[in-house]
Amino acid sequence: MFFLETAVALFIGAFLLTYLTIPKIIGVVQYKRLMDDPNQRSSHKAKTPTLGGIAFFYCLIFALFFIKDRAEHLEFIYMIPGLTILFIVGLKDDMVVLSPGSKLLAQILAISFILVNDSFGIESLNGFLNIYEIPYYLYLVIGGFLMLTIINSYNLIDGIDGLASIVGIVVMVIYTTIFYLSQEYFFALIAITMNACLMAFFGFNVSSRKKIFMGDTGSLIVGFIISILTLKFLALEPTAYGELPFLLENAPLIAISILIVPLFDTARVFTIRIANKKGPFSPDRNHIHHIFIDFWGLSHKQASFIIGCFNIIFVVLFIILGSKAKNTGMVIMLVSVVIFLAYIFFRYNYNFSTLKQKILLKRKIDALKGKKDTAPKSKKKNK
Residues making up the annotated binding site are 155, 216
Taking alpha carbons only, the member of 186, 236, 179, 229 closest to residue 70 is 186
**Cα distance between residue 254 and residue 250, in whole Å:** 6
Q: Name, in order, each residue with C-beta under 8 angstroms of 382's C-beta and a sequence gap of 6 or more.
A: none
Torsion of CA 130, 135, 141, 147, to 10 degrees: 70
Q: Residues at the annotated binding site for Mg(2+)? A: 155, 216
SS3 state at 36: strand
Q: CA–CA distance from 367 to each of 75, 347, 353, 372, 375 (Å)?
A: 62, 29, 21, 9, 12
**Cα distance between residue 219 and residue 155, in whole Å:** 5
Do 206 and 300 meet the contact criterion of CB atoms below 8 Å apart?
yes
**Cα distance between residue 242 and residue 17, in whole Å:** 36
Q: Name, in order, each residue with C-beta under 8 angstroms of 100's C-beta and a sequence gap of 6 or more.
A: 279, 281
Q: CA–CA distance from 330 to each of 2, 98, 231, 334, 382 (Å)?
A: 38, 40, 21, 6, 75
Say how far residue 90 (Cα) sits from the centre of its chain. Answer: 14
**Cα distance between residue 54 and residue 204, in whole Å:** 14
Please give the single-letter amino acid code of residue 345: F
Q: Name, in order, each residue with C-beta under 8 angstroms of 140's C-beta and a sequence gap of 6 or more.
A: 115
- HSE, CB side, 13 Å, CA atoms: give it for residue 301: 7
